[in-house]
Each structure stands twice: as C-alpha cells, then as structure tokens.
Chain A
Amino acid sequence: MKIVCVCACTSGIAHTYLAKAKLEKAAKELGDEIHVETQGTIGTENALTPEQIAEADVALLAVDIATTGNERFKNIPTVKVGTSLVVKAPKQLLERIEEEVKERKSQKE
C-alpha cells in the first residue's frame, strides 16, 4: 500500500514529529510505502510532491488542527485521525486503513 500523510499537532513541536517517526517505522515493518509531510510551528517540511500523491492509495491526515493543502487529496480516499492515536497505535491504524482500502477497491470492481 502506498500512503501519503500529513502530520500536525497543536504546539507543532512534539507530537507532529513523534507521529511521523512512528508511522514511518510501522510502515516499514508492514511493507508499506509512506511519505509524511509535517506542518509544525516551523512551517511545512518534507512537502509531498504531486507524483507521490498521484501514486498513493490513500491519504492519512494525522492532524489535531486545521492544515493547509487538503485539496490536494480530493482524488484519493482520505482518513483523518488525531496525532495521539497515531502515536499510540501506528501499526493497528495502518492495518485498519489497509482493510478499508481493500474493501473500497473490491466495491469498485
């Protein structure tokens, strides 16, 4: 599964980057490909490229606050969760998303 992700927490200094690290680790273990953009207090870092978004199966928004650029994901399925859930259980979350994506695909066929 290919995932694009945006992380943003309230203070924009801790949870944003914790979530990014947890997701990247979990994705590696599950064999998923993930690109994580962080919108912290310092600004947007590691911005997603249009190619990454076009290739992705799903967009994961791990955000507690309003983020910019959500219109980029209008053509792909989107999941929205809080950052604390990602920090708590990144693997379970990715597995659950994978299920949902598969279900969506089988419905389409």
Chain B
Amino acid sequence: MNTFVTGAKKAGSAVKKHLLTSISYMLPLVVASGLLIAIGNLMGGKQVTSLAQMNFPNSMTTLGVLGMGLLPSFIAGYIGYSIADRPGIAPGFLAGQIASFLGAGFLGGIIGGFIAGYIALGIRKIKVPRWANGLMPMLIVPTVTAIFTALIMFFLLGQPLTAATTALNHFITGLDRSQRALYGFLIGWIGCADFGGAISKIPNLICDGLLLDGIKGPEGIKVLAAMVPPFGITMSYFFAKLFHKNIYTKREIENIEVAFPMGCCMITEGVIPIAMNDLLRTLPCTWIGCGITGMISYGWGNESSVPSGGIFVIPAMSKPLVAVIALVAGSLVTGILLAIIKKPLTDKEVNETQDESQDEEKNVDLSGVNLQ
C-alpha cells in the first residue's frame, strides 16, 4: 500500500513537471501572440489570408492569430520534450497538430503531448543493433511515435475530445450574467488563493486553456485578479495611515514598495512576505477582493486576449473601463477590509527590524530529499 501511495505521488509530480515545462515554453508565445492581436485589433486590423490585403494592422492581427494556432503544438511538443527529451519534440508537435485538427485545442494538446511523449520514451528504450543507433533519434522514434499517436488520437480519442470541447464551450457561452458573475467570483478567488502558488495555477491553467478555444472572459479575470492582492495591500497601508493607525512594520512597508511594482506586472508573489506574517487576517481580505474583481470583470463581459502583462494589457482588453472598475473595486475592498481588521501596531513593533542574518525558517519536511 505504502509503495503504491509513493508511486502515485511520484507519478503525479512527474505529470505536473511535464505540464509546467510545456507552459514555461508556451507563455512567451501566448503573450507575444496575444499582444499582436490586441495591437492589430486596436488599429482595426483583421485576419487576412492573402498578401494583397496586407497592411500594418492586418499583419499584426494575422500573425497573432497564426501564433495562437501554434499553441496546441507548443503544449504537446514540450510535454513530449519533458517526457522523452529531444526525440519527443517532433511527435509532440505533430500530436498538437492533431489536436488543432480536432478543434480540441488545449485539452487535446495536453493529452496528445502525453501520449506522444510516453510512446517516444518507450520506443527509445528498445535496443537496436549498433548500425541502427544513428537512425533511432532521427527516423525510428519520431516516425513510429507519430504513427501510433495518429492512430490513438484520430480513431480512439478523436470523437470524445471533440465532443468534450464543444460541450464545454457551449456551457460557458451559455452562461447568463448572474451565473457569469458567480463563476467570475470563484475564478478570481481561487486564482489568487495562495498568491500565485500551487492552488492558483489550476484555475489559471483553465483560463489559458479556454483562451485557446476562443473564450477570453476568464483570462480577463485572471489578469485583473492577480493584481488585486498587491494593490489592495498597498491601499490598506494608505487607508490605515489616513486614520493614524499603523498596521505594517517598517520591514513590511519596504516589502510593499517592492510588491506594488511587481503587482503592476501581474506578479502576485511579492505580497507573500507581508501576508505570511498575518495570514489569518490577510487571506480573507484578498480572497474577497479578488472575487469581486472577477465578478465585475466577467459579469460585465470584459475579455482579454492577452494572458499576461498586468496593467499594461488593460488597454488591450475588450472593455478597458470595466477592467479598471473591476480592478479598483476589488483592490479598494481588500484595502478597506485590511485597514479595518488588521491589529494596530505599537511604535515599538513598527520599528522592530528583524536582523537579516536571523531569517527564521519554518520547519519543513525534508524526508523526500535524497541523493540520487
């Protein structure tokens, strides 16, 4: 039983590593393509298919759309790479093309990547005569993997994948405003639950996936809500100051000065050192603030075709005004709540500067750390 549990844990963390690797390679592509589309659209560009129609705005939009089309392949290709190293890349990219063909974008890309990756890994392990060694990475692994992947993806998984994607899209586009507001709250809340940590990754991944299928609302929530914790905490500092209440130590204020600009770029992690000192009071305030931002953004139909970039991509969203209102409202709520419920500090506590050399570490479980 015990070996089964550790085995399952190991497999889980391996799957996570492969997924994260692909996302790591994919992100720059999504950001660039998303911004290209946004730049093109702002100038009235359209996607065109012939060179005769090409002008500057059209060229931006067209390239962006082409870039987005590469996404399933990027995901599948780099999952394949993470599993089987270089021989996994080519079959993985092919599996991504199958996913595009099936219209199963993101989900299909992930599944295809894993299928291609593990087949490639299996074939790599087959012993061949010495004269065939050179042929393995160049010819045998990619071709044979591609053949098996094609058979599985087209004939076994094709129908279910297409059906699942269509059903999901129908469900999401069919939501009315109140339902959207509710889901917006949930996505905003969970997406910031641990300030960019493991829990946040899940809804954020789903938002990225939906973007691939042309549903851009959730992505708007993700971008906006990620900025709420740093903005809210910054605001709470000023609110509290207004009422002559000290709620942060000098050290924490220094951290806020770093967290705010990071927040503008959509990096939530900057608030962790501040939040960690008072998790019980900070978390509920940021959760509610992020939820409200999500609720307003999604409820009033704001969409973002760019998955990353913070305040700099707000002009590129479909309803920048709604986006700003959502962001400000969520941050205000967080800020006011924090200013109210955080305990006032005495002057002595405020000036207390922890000695740098005595950075306290919480005890962590290191039993899994072993030499290999």
B363 interface residue per 8 A CB criterion: yes
B265 to chain A, nearest CB (A): 9
A65 with B20: CB separation less than 8 A:
yes
- How many B residues are at the interface, by size bracket? 20 to 34
B371 with A100: CB separation less than 8 A:
yes
Q: Is the interface of A mostly helix, strand, loop or mixed?
A: mixed
B81 interface residue per 8 A CB criterion: yes
B28 with A41: CB separation less than 8 A:
yes
* Residues in chain A near residue B370, CB distance under 8 A: 79, 100
A58, B27: Cα distance in complex, Å: 32
| Total number of A residues with any Cβ neighbor in B under 8 Å | 32
Number of A-B residue pairs, CB cutoff 8 Å, is 68
B261 to chain A, nearest CB (A): 13
B372 with A80: CB separation less than 8 A:
yes
User: Which residue among B18, B27, B197, B357 has the maximum number of chain A CB atoms within 10 Å of its CB?
Assistant: B27
Beta-carbon contacts of B24-44 to A below 8 Å, as 1s and 0s? 100110000000000000000
**CB-contact partner of A58 in B18, B364, B371, under 8 A:** B371
Residue in chain A with minimal CB distance to B201? A10
* Residues in chain A near residue B269, CB distance under 8 A: 14-15
* Residues in chain A near residue B170, CB distance under 8 A: none
B369 with A66: CB separation less than 8 A:
no
B127 interface residue per 8 A CB criterion: no
Interface residues of A (CB under 8 A from B): 8-15, 29, 41, 58, 64-66, 77-81, 84-85, 88-93, 96-97, 100-101, 104
Closest 4 CB pairs of A and B: A65-B21, A66-B82, A77-B371, A66-B21
Contacts A8-B24, A79-B371, A96-B369 known; list 19 others, CB within 8 Å: A11-B27, A14-B267, A29-B357, A41-B27, A64-B20, A65-B20, A65-B24, A65-B82, A66-B82, A77-B371, A79-B370, A84-B197, A88-B362, A89-B363, A89-B366, A90-B361, A93-B366, A97-B371, A104-B371
